[in-house]
Structure 1
Amino acid sequence: MSAGIVALLDDIAALARMAAASLDDIGAAAGRASAKAAGVVIDDTAVTPRYVTGFSPQRELPMIRRIAVGSLRNKLLFILPAILLMSQFLPWLLTPLLMIGGTYLCFEGAEKIWHSLRGHETTGQQAAQEAVEGERTQEREDQMVNGAIRTDFILSAEIMVISLNEVANEPLLSRAIILIVVAIAITALVYGVVALIVKMDDVGLYLADKKSGAVATLGRGLVTGMPKVLQALTVVGVVAMLWVGGHILLVGTDELGWHGLYGLVHHLEEGVAAAVPTGGAFVGWLVNTAASAVVGLIVGAVVVAVMHLIPSKKH
């Protein structure tokens, strides 16, 4: 009897070790998948704060919570089942789907640059007029939240497809678990950071009013610095869109058999990395990133021209 119990305990211990190893593998794979989607995550974090700008401070966090719930619903209920089925039965569609999403990111980044150069940014007078007309009612809040969730759907789809592409060789159940972990972790990260960014000026006001000395100075610095942080985030978001979109297109063309462009970029990256004795790998990565951003800008500019310039000439 004792021998049987010992054998049973050994089996349980072996199963526990296997389960722990599986969890470690899933955690590592989820980490790799999340890292691959980092550029889109940065863009998602940079885009969202503008949807709650202009509302009362009391409504900012509830709005962010509603957007986060909508984002998680997008990922888990709609995007995840669709891409899992596709990866199981139509895996050859993943690369073209990624490239379509990458082209959209390039278009978004180039369009933001185009509008910035054209001076189409909303003026203070226009913003004030919109605030008076909208009066920030519940209906207006619902419109902004729904708009944010729709925008998030595209970015979430790109995050999930990029993540899936990283773990495409895993079994179906492992893929599903990894993507669920990625969806929850990235949603919590993005909207946690968004909430922190949005409320940072309120924290600064509190410190400036209630405290003194260095703490009050820190508070005033937060109040004056947050608009610059938000502006910098906008720039980072645009660069991230061009970089990620361009890199997706480079890798996609290589996987589809058109090796020339990706081969050239890879050759430049390796050459620079080998020529720099210290930090060569990082410098090589910068070369790859810059080349990807250039490709993204060129592709995005072509799409912007097709979508905006050519139709206007017809009129």
Structure 2
Amino acid sequence: MNDTPSYRAGHVAVIGRPNVGKSTLVNALVGAKVSIVSNRPQTTRHRLLGIATFAQGQLVLVDTPGLHRDQGKASASAMHRWMNRAARGALEGVDAALLVVQAGRWDEEDGAAYAVLREAGVPVVLVVNQVDRLRDKAALLPYLADVVHDREFASVHPVSALKRIGLEALVDAVLPVLPQQDALYGEDEITDRSQRFLAAELLREQLMRLLGAELPYATTVEIERFEEDGAMYRIGAVIWVEREGQKAIVIGKGGTRLREIGTKARQQMERLFDRKVFLETWVRVREGWSDDEAALRAFGYGEPGIGNRE
């Protein structure tokens, strides 16, 4: 534990509409890949903690699914409702929040996310991400002036999470609004999630990246076996889909697609776990799992609270 009198630590929710780079930001601040990333909205389905420890304090970042406008239960799947609950639930017990938006863009979903944060009554830091992609740099200042007009932010930070631009200034601004207390986690801890959970997410990441156009949200992953064998992990994973036709897509001709997915996922696991991994994968069908509350619970879509470890 850190005994520096000025040391600060606390929980910081990372909120925003889908696909604005929340998980990329969390990974950049943590300095390790704890949250999966793809260019598909709704890649992040679970709430997890990314622990970023610095000399002057510790940010316990609560990464969340993107917030969607509530369209009513009749028009939203169980998965959609679950992700909105997880995103809103991330605000319970936090000390501050980062509202992440895309540089040059502010729409109704951004406004809805801001409204949720204002209701939570915590300091809100505006993080304007992807400034490196903004073609007209001169448009940034007028854009910022428009966004902050009639809205209250503790501070505003243009950043590029991908290129790690502006992150030091962001950390320096967030730490002072956190409680003065010892670190909540050890210096070597980077997430509250188990290796089993991270393995499932890394496999699902490759499914999103390689099959996103064909099967955007019809897949999930269940780890059936996670064993330590000397210096190696032996992992058995089931990829669940909703229809037989989707199973064929995941497997590919002669199994080529499934082998590619497995190879890329295994490489990511070895990089994160720092050891060899033997990964076996199977594809199975469970019809309508993404709109079945019982199936979602069975596949691990629970209600983890802050500080609850898997």
TM-score, normalised via structure 1 length: 0.25
From the two aligned structures, give the one with the greater strand fraction.
2
Q: Which has the higher contact order (CA 8 A, sep 6+)?
A: 1
Structure number with bigger Rg? 1
